[in-house]
Structure 1
Amino acid sequence: MIKKHEIYKKDKWNMMTVEVQGKYIILREISDQWGEESHTFLSRPALMDWVKRRFPKEEYAGNEAEWDDIMNAFKQV
Protein backbone atom coordinates (compact mmCIF):
# COMPACT_ATOMS: atom_id res chain seq x y z
CA MET A 1 0.00 0.00 0.00
CA ILE A 2 1.32 3.41 -0.96
CA LYS A 3 0.54 6.32 1.30
CA LYS A 4 0.97 9.75 -0.31
CA HIS A 5 1.39 13.04 1.53
CA GLU A 6 1.30 16.48 -0.04
CA ILE A 7 3.69 18.66 1.93
CA TYR A 8 3.03 21.91 0.15
CA LYS A 9 1.81 23.14 -3.16
CA LYS A 10 2.10 26.71 -4.32
CA ASP A 11 1.21 25.93 -7.94
CA LYS A 12 1.81 23.10 -10.41
CA TRP A 13 5.53 23.94 -10.53
CA ASN A 14 6.36 24.38 -6.86
CA MET A 15 5.26 21.44 -4.79
CA MET A 16 6.54 18.56 -2.71
CA THR A 17 5.03 15.15 -2.11
CA VAL A 18 6.14 12.20 0.00
CA GLU A 19 5.11 8.60 -0.68
CA VAL A 20 5.57 5.81 1.82
CA GLN A 21 6.11 2.53 -0.06
CA GLY A 22 6.78 -0.26 2.40
CA LYS A 23 10.10 0.56 4.07
CA TYR A 24 10.94 3.30 1.57
CA ILE A 25 10.03 6.97 1.86
CA ILE A 26 10.17 8.67 -1.53
CA LEU A 27 10.19 12.44 -1.64
CA ARG A 28 9.49 14.27 -4.89
CA GLU A 29 10.26 17.94 -5.14
CA ILE A 30 9.08 19.86 -8.20
CA SER A 31 10.27 23.41 -8.70
CA ASP A 32 10.34 25.85 -11.57
CA GLN A 33 14.09 26.29 -10.97
CA TRP A 34 15.35 22.68 -10.85
CA GLY A 35 12.60 20.58 -12.37
CA GLU A 36 11.84 17.37 -10.48
CA GLU A 37 14.14 15.89 -7.89
CA SER A 38 13.49 12.61 -6.16
CA HIS A 39 15.03 11.42 -2.89
CA THR A 40 14.63 8.00 -1.28
CA PHE A 41 14.97 7.50 2.47
CA LEU A 42 15.00 4.28 4.48
CA SER A 43 13.79 5.85 7.74
CA ARG A 44 11.84 8.79 9.09
CA PRO A 45 14.89 10.11 11.03
CA ALA A 46 16.86 10.19 7.75
CA LEU A 47 14.00 12.08 6.11
CA MET A 48 13.80 14.60 8.96
CA ASP A 49 17.57 15.10 8.90
CA TRP A 50 17.34 16.02 5.20
CA VAL A 51 14.31 18.25 5.86
CA LYS A 52 16.18 20.26 8.51
CA ARG A 53 19.08 20.82 6.07
CA ARG A 54 16.75 21.65 3.16
CA PHE A 55 14.63 24.09 5.19
CA PRO A 56 16.97 25.85 7.65
CA LYS A 57 14.93 27.77 10.20
CA GLU A 58 17.13 30.85 9.75
CA GLU A 59 15.82 31.27 6.18
CA TYR A 60 12.30 31.69 7.58
CA ALA A 61 13.09 34.52 9.99
CA GLY A 62 9.94 36.62 10.14
CA ASN A 63 7.94 33.79 8.60
CA GLU A 64 8.19 31.12 11.28
CA ALA A 65 4.58 30.06 10.70
CA GLU A 66 5.42 28.80 7.19
CA TRP A 67 8.43 26.88 8.56
CA ASP A 68 6.26 25.34 11.30
CA ASP A 69 3.66 24.31 8.70
CA ILE A 70 6.33 22.58 6.58
CA MET A 71 7.84 20.78 9.60
CA ASN A 72 4.40 19.67 10.83
CA ALA A 73 3.53 18.32 7.38
CA PHE A 74 6.70 16.20 7.37
CA LYS A 75 6.01 14.96 10.89
CA GLN A 76 2.66 13.59 9.65
CA VAL A 77 4.47 11.24 7.26
Structure 2
Amino acid sequence: MLNVEVQGTKIVLTEISDQWGEECHTFLGRPAMMQWANERFAKERFDGTEEERQAIMDAFDQV
Protein backbone atom coordinates (compact mmCIF):
# COMPACT_ATOMS: atom_id res chain seq x y z
CA MET A 1 0.00 0.00 0.00
CA LEU A 2 1.24 3.49 -0.83
CA ASN A 3 0.19 6.72 0.84
CA VAL A 4 1.28 10.03 -0.69
CA GLU A 5 0.97 13.36 1.12
CA VAL A 6 1.94 16.79 -0.17
CA GLN A 7 3.35 18.82 2.72
CA GLY A 8 4.16 22.28 1.42
CA THR A 9 7.10 21.89 -0.94
CA LYS A 10 7.76 18.27 0.08
CA ILE A 11 6.07 15.06 -1.00
CA VAL A 12 6.06 12.32 1.64
CA LEU A 13 5.42 8.81 0.39
CA THR A 14 4.84 5.98 2.85
CA GLU A 15 5.13 2.44 1.53
CA ILE A 16 3.59 -0.21 3.77
CA SER A 17 4.02 -3.94 3.20
CA ASP A 18 3.55 -7.01 5.35
CA GLN A 19 7.01 -8.22 4.27
CA TRP A 20 9.09 -5.06 4.86
CA GLY A 21 6.97 -3.04 7.27
CA GLU A 22 6.77 0.71 6.76
CA GLU A 23 9.22 2.70 4.68
CA CYS A 24 9.02 6.46 4.28
CA HIS A 25 10.43 8.46 1.35
CA THR A 26 10.59 12.27 1.25
CA PHE A 27 10.93 14.01 -2.10
CA LEU A 28 11.71 17.67 -2.63
CA GLY A 29 9.65 17.82 -5.80
CA ARG A 30 7.43 15.93 -8.17
CA PRO A 31 10.24 15.05 -10.66
CA ALA A 32 12.16 13.24 -7.91
CA MET A 33 9.04 11.30 -6.91
CA MET A 34 8.35 10.33 -10.54
CA GLN A 35 11.93 9.13 -10.99
CA TRP A 36 11.55 6.95 -7.89
CA ALA A 37 8.20 5.61 -9.15
CA ASN A 38 9.64 4.78 -12.58
CA GLU A 39 12.49 2.86 -10.94
CA ARG A 40 10.28 1.18 -8.31
CA PHE A 41 7.66 0.10 -10.87
CA ALA A 42 9.98 -0.62 -13.81
CA LYS A 43 8.36 -2.68 -16.57
CA GLU A 44 10.94 -5.44 -16.40
CA ARG A 45 10.60 -5.91 -12.61
CA PHE A 46 6.84 -5.37 -12.14
CA ASP A 47 4.92 -8.50 -11.08
CA GLY A 48 1.56 -7.81 -12.66
CA THR A 49 -0.09 -6.80 -15.89
CA GLU A 50 0.85 -3.74 -17.90
CA GLU A 51 -2.64 -2.35 -17.17
CA GLU A 52 -2.01 -2.57 -13.41
CA ARG A 53 1.37 -0.89 -13.78
CA GLN A 54 -0.11 1.86 -15.95
CA ALA A 55 -2.86 2.49 -13.37
CA ILE A 56 -0.20 2.95 -10.68
CA MET A 57 1.82 5.32 -12.85
CA ASP A 58 -1.34 7.29 -13.75
CA ALA A 59 -2.06 7.72 -10.04
CA PHE A 60 1.46 9.11 -9.54
CA ASP A 61 0.89 11.50 -12.46
CA GLN A 62 -2.12 12.94 -10.64
CA VAL A 63 -0.11 13.89 -7.52
Query: Could you state the TM-score of these two structures normalised by the residue count of structure 2?
Result: 0.93
Confirm or deny that 1:42 pairs with 2:15. Answer: no
Amino acid at match of 2:43: K
Paired residues, number: 63
Q: Secondary structure at the match of 1:59?
A: coil
Alpha-carbon shift at residue 58 of structure 1 (Å)? 1.7
- Correspondence 1:23-34 to 2 at 5 A: 23-34=9-20
Correspondence for 2:2 = 16
Query: Which aligned runs of 4 or more in structure 1 are off by greater than 4 angstroms?
Result: none
Of structures 1 and 2, the larger Rg is shown by 1
Query: Could you state the TM-score of these two structures normalised by the residue count of structure 1?
Result: 0.77
Residue in structure 2 matching 1:64, options 43, 46, 50: 50
The answer (yes or no) to whether the contact 1:60–1:66 under 8 Å persists in 2 is: no
Select the structure that is richer in strand. Answer: 1
Write out per-residue CA displacement over residues 26-69 of structure 1, whole angstroms, 9 at most, x where no aligned residue: 00000011000000000100000000111111234771000000
